[in-house]
Amino acid sequence: MGDHGGAANGAGGTFLSGSCRYRRVDIFAVFNAESPKFAEIASVAVRKCELCPRRCGVDRSAGERGYCRAGANVEVYRYGPHRGEEPPISGTRGSGTVFFGRCTLRCLYCQNYPWSQEGAARECSVGDLAGMFWELWKQGCHNWNLVSPTPWLRHIRIALRMANEAGAFLPVVYNTSGFERPETLAEEADFVDVFLTDLRYAREESARTGSGFAGYVAAARESFLAMWRLAGPLRLDEHGLAVKGTICRLLILPGRAEEAIENLQWLAETVGTEVAVSVMAQYVPAYRAAQVGSPWDRGITVEEYDAVCRTVEELGFVHGWVQEQGIAVPDDLLGFKMGPSRPDSRKAATLVAENGCEKHRGVKT
């Protein structure tokens, strides 16, 4: 829908612009209550939760909580255009990022710990989530970027359907630690266009220490292969924006650079060097890392960084990105320094076409 329109004549009024008539609506109210159609599809049940490899089996709809502490209602900490992702994801107008609460991995060095582990995200309705997707689309973001979506896949699926039914469409980016079940990806995440995933560890001992689950290595590799089957190599549009495919992130961990190297070797041997890789040098000893001690309590060294970069070249990867080392991450891109979305940011009014104009599609209520 167009952002243009005639001069506003007050909330709830109508607008005239060219041949199109508009009315102002509270988009969150529309998704939450005004439309019987949306109310009908808004209920979500998560019983016997086995969405991630921990397979807790808890009845979240009845108030039980598993390892990730996710409950019945979806939780969001913040949403908005984000410019800190890889260039085909951020583009020029930003990636429409939704930072979901809770996490299935809970790493000891997590940069997003206030909302991934300490409950700082706010519970919201599926209609609220649809309203956020709508706003991000209307703001001109290039995609919907779902950060740590796994416990909320059923809520997200419905919210995306609501946004789609209202006329908003964007590629969906699944932004994950890589700790996934192939069954869940196939059955609950078939709306995804681009997988932005991690291979975090190559040794079980590191996975157990860093993220409390020795089985991460096998699970992440298996789920990477499932993503590769579902989406394949990264494909860009004529503007260089991601429309489909898989990007594999490799976060260099202090004292464990050889594990990033082993994962690069595994990628080269398993799927080949056409996969887009993103080497990340932004580790900081956040959350519990400083107390845990060496080597988690330091940044990565020049030698560790150089060894991983050298491997990328030697193995022949040609698509991807390598973060500069030693560049401080700006506060607005560093998880634990980012503030939440304010509650009143969910009262956005939007103009929708009343007369079915094809050029200016609006909310179908």
Contact set with ligand SF4 (CB under 6 A): 49-52, 54-56, 58, 66-68, 70, 104, 150-151
Q: Report the nearest approach of ligand SF4 to the CB of residue 180 (Å).
A: 10
Nearest to 252 by CA among 277, 227, 215: 277
Q: Take residue 302 and report the two structure tokens written for it.
A: 């020049």
Rounded to an integer, what distance in angstroms lies between the CA atom of residue 176 and that of residue 54?
A: 15
Contacts of 112 (CB under 8 A, 6+ apart): 77, 99, 103, 147, 148, 335, 336
Q: Cis (ω within 30 of 0) for the bond into 151?
A: no
- Residue nearest to ligand SF4 as judged by C-beta position: 66
- Cβ nearer to ligand SF4, comparing 150 with 282: 150
C-alpha 127/C-alpha 43 separation (Å) is 10
CB of 128 to ligand SF4, least distance (A): 20
- Residue 153 CB, shortest distance to ligand SF4, in Å, is 9
d(CA 150, CA 153): 6
Residue with tokens 């508009």: 22
CB of 207 to ligand SF4, least distance (A): 15
Q: How far is the CB of 162 from ligand SF4 (least distance, A)?
A: 22
CB of 98 to ligand SF4, least distance (A): 17
**Quick one: 76 or 241, whose CB is closer to ligand SF4?**
76
Strands, sheet with 20-26, edge to edge from the N-terminal-most edge strand: 14-17, 20-26, 349-353
